[in-house]
Amino acid sequence: MAKPTGRMGSVPELRSRFPAVAEGFQAAMRKGVDTAGPLNTGTRELILLAGYITARQGEGFKTHASRALAAGATPEEVRHACVLVLGATAALEPVVDALIWADEVIAARG
């Protein structure tokens, strides 16, 4: 199951050490990627979940799951995005971890 890493998420960790680099990463690169094509915010955020599941990056997953929900994705769509990677890029354990992370994000939103 999902295990805490004992550190803050990657971007907060980078920000604590190199604030300007973290800001540049988020402001320039993400903006360029987000505006490069026709996908709406919710769809982009759901797609990003697959990468975070495969990489087993819980904090990144939670950030983008929250953004997907804020952009109008339903809890069912977030959970469906989790199981889509099963057998394609992720085994059972990372998918179950992602479902747990999803439920944590969904519960925190009320």
Q: What type of residue sits at position 58? A: G
Same domain, 47 and 101: yes
User: Which pLDDT tens digit goes with each residue over 69-95?
Assistant: 999 999 999 999 999 999 999 999 999
* Tokens matching residue 102: 């999803």
Query: Which candidate, 14, 6, 105, 16, places its Cα nearest to that of 52?
Result: 105
Same domain, 50 and 64: yes
User: Which pLDDT tens digit goes with each residue over 1-32?
Assistant: 555 555 667 778 888 999 999 888 888 888 88
Find the domain containing 74 and state its range: 40-108
SS (H, E, C) 5-56: CCCCCHHHHHHHHCHHHHHHHHHHHHHHHHCCCCCCHHHHHHHHHHHHHHCC
Query: Which pTM does this prediction carry?
Result: 0.81
